Amino acid sequence: MRETSAARDEGGPAVCKAVAGGNVDRKGGASARRRRRLELRRLGRATEGSPVPAKRIRSGSHRSSSSDSSLETAAAGCWPPRLSHGAVSVIGRRREMEDAFAIALSFLASDPSSPGAKDEQEQDFFAVYDGHGGARVAEACRERMHVVLAEELGLRRGVGSDDLRWEEAMAASFARVDGEVTGGFSPPPKPPPQQTAADAADTNAGAGNLPYRTVGSTAVVAVVGQRRIVVANCGDSRAVLSRGGVAVPLSTDHKPDRPDEMQRVEAAGGRVINWNGYRVLGVLATSRSIGDYYLKPYVSAEPEVTVVERTEQDEFLILASDGLWDVVSNEMACKIARNCLNGRAASKFPGSVAGRTAADAAALLTELAMSRGSRDNISVVVVELQRLKTSPGAA
* pLDDT tens string 217-234: 999 999 999 899 999 999
* pLDDT tens string 288-299: 999 999 999 999
Domains of the chain, by residue range, sit at 85-110+121-184+213-251+300-384, 255-288
How crowded is the C-beta side of 212, counted as CA atoms within 13 Å? 23
Angle at 257 between CA 219 and CA 141, to 5 degrees: 10
- Does residue 375 or residue 23 have the better pLDDT? 375
Q: Which residues contact 34 (CB under 8 A, 6 or more apart)?
A: none
How crowded is the C-beta side of 338, counted as CA atoms within 13 Å? 21
Q: How far is CA 9 from CA 22, 50, 105, in A?
A: 11, 37, 9
Which residue type is seen at 153? L
* Domain spanning 85-110+121-184+213-251+300-384, CATH architecture: 4-Layer Sandwich (3.60)
* pLDDT tens string 167-218: 999 999 999 999 999 885 444 444 455 544 444 444 444 444 445 689 999 9
0.85 surpassed by pTM:
no
Query: What is the pLDDT, as a whole number, of residue 68?
Result: 35
Q: Using DSSP, state whether 369 is helix, strand or coil.
A: helix
Q: CA-to-CA distance for 124 and 383, rounded, in angstroms? A: 10
Backbone dihedral angles phi then psi of residue 318, each to the nearest 5 degrees: -120, 125
Closest CA to 361 of 238, 242, 187, 222: 242
Q: CA-to-CA distance for 113 and 272, rounded, in angstroms? A: 52
**Total residue length of the chain:** 395
Angle at 44 between CA 43 and CA 50, to 5 degrees: 145
Give me the mean pLDDT over the 368-385 stretch: 97
Which residue type is seen at 139? E
Q: CA-to-CA distance for 221 and 232, rounded, in angstroms? A: 5
Long-range pairs for 120-123: beta carbons < 8 A, 24 or more residues apart:
120/153, 122/80, 122/81, 122/225, 122/226, 123/81, 123/223, 123/224, 123/225
Q: How far is CA 276 from CA 97, 112, 183, 252, 280, in A?
A: 22, 54, 31, 22, 12
